[in-house]
Structure 1
Amino acid sequence: MKGLKAKWNGASQLMRRTIVITVVMAVLAVCCLGKLVYIQLIEGPQLAMAAQQSRTLKVTLQAKRGKIMDTNGVVLAQSVERYTIIGNPDAAQTFEPTACTAATKPYCQQLDGKPLTTTGVAAVSQLLAPLLGMSASEIGGKLSGTGQYAVLKKDVTPEVKRKISQLYLGGIVYSELSNERLYSNGTLMGALLGGVNAEGEGVAGIEQLQNKTLTGTDGYQVYQQGNGGEEIPGTMTDSKEAVDGSNVTLTIDRDVQWRVEKILADAQEKYKARWGIGVVEDVRTGEIIALADTDKIEAGSGDAKVQVARSVNQVFEPGSIGKVFTMGGLLQEKLHHMGDRFTVPDSITLEGQTYKDSFNHGAERWTLAGVLEQSSNVGTIQASDNFPDDKRYEYLSKFGIGQPSSLHLPGESQGVLTPANAWDGRTRNTVLFGQGYSTNALQLTNAIAVVANKGVMKPQSIIKSVTASNGREEKVNPGESKRVVDESVANELLNAMESVAEHYQKFAGVSGYRVASKSGTAEIVGDDGKLSSLISDYTAIIPADNPRYVVTVVLRDPEGNYGGLTAGPVTAEIGQFLMQKYEVPASTPRKDAIPVEW
């Protein structure tokens, strides 16, 4: 009986244990089932969304900056697709290469077809070194620090970027799209073109002037990426195309610009000048065909980003070229005609101030045209006896002296022309022959273009057209023309200037073409603070019988001094080139010269 009872008790304990275990297992099963239900129905979508978000990438599609081209479509500046290769040091240090097998290809890593024998930074560096053209030790140094961002190399080509992508180092190495600005002509128009900063914004020259036009609008793509950093097909959820910047076409002719720069460089060496400036303007349109100087600055360089082109910001006293504007006022106010007669000594004293001509001579019998031909300061003062100060100022202003040009170039200096009521007893007369105020080569060229264009000033332009990324071209309107003097006045000035050109025919003639010109020489303050420096300039209308171009050349401290003997021959060489390049018909003989003597 005891044995039976013991067996019953044992069976009861076993049963109780079985029941307890069953209950516990049931509870665990219910908990697991509940957790599974929670994960699947409640937390699951959130986890899936989080996983998707961790794989989702928004990539910026960088817009390309527009091109800058010359008037014939020759590219002067353009942006090309480049990439910055970025490394993640923290991820690189834990990198474990994936051996290449049939199951892992292509998402694996090997070197020269052989498995890698290293891990971490060493392995990453070995893979990248031949593609980036860098040593493994150099790359390793960049990846050995802390953090998740290290620039490995900039301005990498798309081809190299694609090869790096095929290493499948997602999360360790990736690329950022950038654009490299290329200038294909070296120092040609260097400071005039200017440059862009690290963010691709124009900071000087044409790049700054047209920055808004050249700058595009970035786009983007949103997609999911795989373990290797590659886009998972069919996962793109949103995108916006980038809109590239517009292309800007200049009025400048690259071939003419190159030739003018070369002629100026040769002249600088020949005359031992400190610097030279040359401008070519199309009389009919006001377009600037060339804007050159002797400074050798690489476009896009650090110097180009901080320096303004000398042709844009250099100011100077024009010297005797200023007599053209004085005589324009005298004729327009009907105070004189170019045939009026004067007896001109070589010096004159007014109100205690003595003024002299550049050469000694007796009392010469010159007409007003002869006064201009001989560039007589004294004769100009005599002719201006009844020309009040306010009119002297008015006509200088009308011809554009001291006024900003229509080009709006960054850093352009408009020179200095003080009001007439601020002139002293000497300045009121020196302004008659181009001293006592300052101008720049652009102003001077456009002022002479008034004479060439029958008394009308056309606004200068350097931007010809803008072409949007969709191909739509829009011509740029530089503004309205304005009349400065009557056509009859301009014709008289042109006639007298042609006599000036004949005076310099031996030095500054253009074979087969009539020229109307004026020379200038002005003493200016040198480095020693004294009037020890010199400006020699020369401006010419060519052909005089059918004006097409105005050419201006300015030299600082040339050996030979006088503008007609230094800047004159340089101007003539540029003029000869223009006539040949543009196949301008030869001039007809001159028959209507106003007498220069009586």
Structure 2
Amino acid sequence: MKRLKFLRSGKHGQLFNRTLAVGVVLALMAVACFGQLINVQIIQGTEYAQAATDSRTLTVTVSAKRGKITDVNGVVLAQSVERYTIIGNPTAAQEFTPTSCSKSSTCQSLDGKDLTTTGAAAVAQLLAPLLDMDATTIGGMLSGTGQYVVLAKDVTPEVKRKIDDLNLGGIVYGELSNERLYSNGTLMGALLGGVDADGNGVAGLEQLENSVLTGTDGYETYQQGLYGEEIPGTLTDSKAAVDGSDVTLTIDRDVQWRVEQILQNAKTTYNAAWGIAVVQDVETGEIRALADTDSIEAGSDDAKLNVAKSVSETFEPGSIGKVFTMSGLIQEGLHKMSDKFTVPNTLTLDGQTYKDAEEHATGQWTLAGILEQSSNVGTILASSDYTDEERYEYLTKFGIGQKSGLELPGESQGVLGTADSWDGRTRNTILFGQGYSTNALQLTNAIAVIANGGVKTSQKIVKSTTSADGHVTETASGSSTRVVDEDTAKQVMNAMESVAEHYEKFAGVTGYRVAAKSGTAEVAGSDGTLSSIISDYTAIIPADNPKFVVTVVLKDPEGSYGGLTAGPVFAEIGTFLMQKYSVPTSSKRTDAIPTEW
């Protein structure tokens, strides 16, 4: 007892107490740690393991390929091709030590020699010749912080495979992407338009058909290693991408190319500011060519920022408008093409004076002759009982001032004021194609009414779509409406054929009958005054078996008159069409309505 008492007293007792206290604390800490260990490994072990897995799990997007745009014969005009974005991991690159090829088959060498550098510089040396980039530039990009930097875009699969062969997994890898290619340069440049950085159509046909061309992206879920590389065998979920549908146009690439070439030559020949041409299939309303003289690379910034002139440009059609007037006169029973008129050179009506383009003696012309001679005065005389309401009605029936229905981005429908907005002069200039504006597509389809026996069909520029699984969907044909009866269309066609014969020396197509109308109109120039000229010519070929309507429009050509400038351009296009499609030559004309009396 004395011994125990001694130990519990004095310095030795204090030491014992402290030791005991420390022992108790350590024991408690051991129990706590053991409890936490049990908690971590047994109770929360599954949660921590799942969290670790989650931190390594990555879901990446698998991009769908945008559909192709092809011509009516399947010739590719726009397509997306497999490309890769090359990604570098700066953190991993800076820790890189190349493996000697004498020690391992998964090594790195340059020109058959082991590298003498390490880190980002070594990675840059390996990549530079494959990416056609300066090693210093790549090295600088890999010397930053973080684990992600874009080294190059739109890399071909061939180059990507060569990068894979460098055995730089986790340091450099490729992300699948697509590049939009246009194989025909400036052909249909602004009309095709282009896509933005995300692959969405932002102009032209790319924009029009964007929802059809765009596919649905898929995804892959897998675990990644320390440097972001995929751990083999860890793919846990995936969904395949569904590529966009292909779009087949009604455009014939060969016709489009030839028409653009002819227009460019005409622009030079006549020193014109610009030119436009449309080729339309009479029976189907399908557009075979929609061309202009703007030289814009498809897919370029210019193509994305500009609307094709063939779509956006509006103009007064000039004397081509007489076709619609005479159709209305005959349909309303006011005249026949054989009716006779005495036509002076000038006419003053309600204080307004009108004159013909060329001075002439008083003519003894039938209504067909008035159209052949393109007489403004004769047209006004023939329309004395043709009301303003009827004048407006027939223009709208022919589609003037109406949308084409093609819904092309940037398309202008022109301007046609209502009858109650016309002043005393406009109500008469309307009769010969002045006082309203149209575009080349409208004008072509309006003349196609005559070629179709008086029926207006819907135009079409997209023929069909083909889904990724090969299902073809034909574009539905729009409604057709009768504008004038068949006999009216026949009489107008007959007179238009006399017009074509009038210009046969300049605008004839050997072996084929043509029904045509020329036009010339003064329009506002850059100075705001009527200092510019529109010369146009629209024709049906062959006249005895209509296959095509062709419209040509020139701005400020030397030579002015449509029949002498736009007419010869039509003749070149018409000749090409007849040869390309092997159209049988025409029978001899025997039923011409007299043009004089």
- 1:240-259 equivalences in 2 (<5 Å): 240-259=239-258
Relative to structure 1, is the Cα distance of residues 159 and 25 closer, same or farther in structure 2, using a 3 angstrom cutoff? farther
- The structure-2 alpha-carbon separation of the partners of 1:33 and 1:341, relative to structure 1 and needing over 3 Å to count, comes to same
User: Which residues of 2 match residues 199-598 of structure 1 at below 5 A?
Assistant: 199-226=198-225, 229-598=228-597
Deviation at 1:150, TM superposition (A): 2.6
- Percent sequence identity is 71
Match for 2:348: what amino acid? T
> RMSD between aligned alpha carbons?
2.4
Q: CA distance change for structure 1 residues 543 and 25 in 2, over 3 Å: closer, same or farther?
A: same
Provide, for residues 317-365 of structure 1, a one-character-per-residue CA deviation record: whole Å limited to 9, x for no partner.
1000000000011011111000000000010001111100011111110
Output the CA distance in 2 between the equivalents of 1:521 and 1:480.
32
How far residue 109 of structure 1 moved from its aligned partner, in angstroms, is 4.1
Which residue of structure 2 lines up, in the alignment, with residue 65 of structure 1?
Answer: 66
- SS of the aligned residue for 2:238 comes to strand
Q: CA deviation at 1:51?
A: 3.1
Once the two structures are TM-superposed, the CA of residue 160 in structure 1 deviates from its matched residue by 2.0
Q: Would the alpha carbon gap of residues 440 and 58 (structure 1) be closer, same or farther in structure 2, given more than 3 Å must change?
A: same
Pairing 1:84–2:73 present = no
Give 1:525 deviation, angstroms.
1.3
Instruction: Tell me if structure 2 keeps the 8 A contact 1:204–1:410.
Output: yes
Query: Given that residues 280 and 288 in structure 1 are in contact (C-alpha distance below 8 angstroms), is that contact kept between their aligned partners in structure 2?
Result: yes
Q: Could you tell which deviates more after superposition, 119-128 or 108-117?
A: 108-117
1:45 aligned residue: 46
Distance, in Å, in 2 between the alignment partners of 1:441 and 1:29 is: 91
Three-state SS of the structure 1 residue aligned to 2:248 is: strand
SS at match of 2:399: coil
Give CA deviations for 1:235-278 in whole Å, capped at 9, x if unaligned: 22111110000000000000000000011111111111111001
User: Mind listing any 5+ residue stretches in structure 2 that lack a counterpart?
Assistant: 1-15
| Corresponding position: 1:189 with 2:188 | yes
Change (3 A) 1:207 1:179: same
Partner letter of residue 483 of structure 2?
V
Give yes or no for contact 2:311–2:439 (8 Å, CA) kept in 1: yes
Q: 1:464 to 1:440 in 2, by over 3 A?
A: same
Instruction: Tell whether the 8 Å contact from 2:98 to 2:108 is kept in structure 1 after alignment.
Output: yes
Superposition deviation, residue 111 in structure 1 = 3.7
Moved more, 155-164 or 243-252: 155-164
Contact 2:90 2:147 (8 Å CA) reproduced: yes
Asked if 1 retains the 8 angstrom alpha-carbon contact of 2:318 and 2:432, the reply is yes
Distance 1:34 1:167 in 2: 49
What is the CA–CA distance in structure 2 between the aligned matches of 1:140 and 1:562, rounded to whole Å? 66
CA distance 1:400–1:134, change in 2 (3 Å): same
* 1:276-319 C-alpha deviation (Å, 9 max, x unpaired): 00100000000000000111000000000010000001001100
| 1:4 alignment partner in structure 2 | none
Q: Deviation per CA, 1:214-252: give whole Å up to 9, x if none.
A: 000000111223457554443221111100000000000
Greater Cα shift, 357-366 or 167-176:
167-176
Contact 2:519–2:536 under 8 Å retained in 1: yes
Q: TM-score, normalised by structure 2?
A: 0.92
Other structure's SS at 2:272 match: coil
Looking at structure 1, the residues matched to 101 and 356 of structure 2 have their Cα atoms a distance apart, in angstroms, of 95
What is the rounded CA distance, in whole Å, between the counterparts of 1:250 and 1:298 in structure 2? Answer: 19
Give 1:155's aligned residue: 154
Residues 46 and 165 of structure 1: CA distance in aligned 2, closer, same or farther (over 3 Å): farther
Alpha-carbon deviations, 1:10-61, whole Å to 9, x = none?
A: xxxxxx9xx9999999999988876665454234333432332233221211
Amino acid at match of 1:56: T
Once the 2 structures are TM-superposed, how far is the Cα of residue 501 of structure 1 from its aligned partner?
Answer: 0.6
Contact 1:97 1:116 in 2 (8 A): no
Change (3 A) 1:448 1:586: same
The separation in 1 between residues aligned to 2:140 and 2:165, in whole angstroms, is 23
Q: How many residues align?
A: 579
- Could you list the per-position Cα deviations for residues 175-215 of structure 1 after superposition, in whole angstroms to 9, with x for gaps in the alignment? 33221000000000000000000010000000000000000
User: TM-score, normalised on structure 1?
Assistant: 0.92
Distance 1:573 1:564 in 2: 13
Does the 8 A contact of 1:415 with 1:438 survive in 2?
yes
Q: Distance in 2 between matches of 1:527 and 1:22?
A: 101
Q: Distance in 2 between matches of 1:235 and 1:433?
A: 76
Deviations 1:66-91 (A, max 9, x none): 00000000000000011112233344
Unaligned runs of 5+ in 1: 1-15
**How far, CA to CA, are the matches of 2:114 and 2:31 in structure 1?**
49
The residue that corresponds to 1:97 in the other structure is 97
8 Å CA contact 1:168–1:229 kept in 2: the answer is: no
Q: Which moved more, 1:233-242 or 1:186-195?
A: 233-242
Structure 2 Cα separation of the partners of residues 389 and 24 of structure 1? 109
